[in-house]
Amino acid sequence: MGDKGNKVKGISRVGIISSHLVSSNSSSTPPMASSEMEAAISATPSDSPTIFDKIINKEIPSNVVYEDDKVLAFRDIAPQAPVHIVLIPKVKDGLTGLSKAEERHCEILGYLLYTAKIVAKQEGLEDGFRIVINDGPNGCQSVYHLHIHILGGRQMNWPPG
């Protein structure tokens, strides 16, 4: 049958798939710092206040890039890309992570995604960006207050690792 069925708008699937594969020694892929992975693995999932409460309450400094009555966005202290912003709901309401989401959280979850787009635009990420929500130990979550990572300013790779 040839590769006719494997073409999407004239681009072969092999081409599309290979564009998502990057060799493991790519210099554009920062390897995850073992300290970050250790922090995530050793973090105990809990509903206790986190460092993000201190940031919300301005008890510790942060580099805020966006704030309104519902959400706060600030630069990550350990950036994994030229632009790396953490976006959080100001009221946790049990949302230690995405896996704790309940129907009542739909509004704030949608608002966070919409705000991620606003922040990405504000940061000049017209060529694209990535949002990440780490959940639980396997997802490398280290802070148990739901947050969206907004990453951009460089070519992202796939798979993310």
Q: Which residues are catalytic?
A: 147
Does position 81 interact with ligand AMP (CB under 6 A)? The reply is: no
Cis before residue 160, ω within 30 degrees of 0? no
Q: What are phi and psi of 119, to 5 degrees?
A: -65, -40
Does position 64 interact with ligand AMP (CB under 6 A)? The reply is: no
Does position 131 interact with ligand AMP (CB under 6 A)? The reply is: no
Instruction: Tell me the number of residues near ligand AMP by CB under 6 A.
Output: 13
> Least CB distance from residue 155 to ligand AMP, whole Å?
20
Measured CA to CA, the distance from residue 22 to residue 159 in angstroms comes to 8
Does position 112 interact with ligand AMP (CB under 6 A)? The reply is: no
> Least CB distance from residue 40 to ligand AMP, whole Å?
5
24-63: contacts with ligand AMP (CB under 6 A): 40, 51, 62
Output 108 or 148, the one with its CB closest to ligand AMP. Answer: 148
> Least CB distance from residue 74 to ligand AMP, whole Å?
6
Does position 77 interact with ligand AMP (CB under 6 A)? The reply is: yes
Residues binding ligand AMP (CB under 6 A): 40, 51, 62, 74, 76-78, 86, 134, 140-143
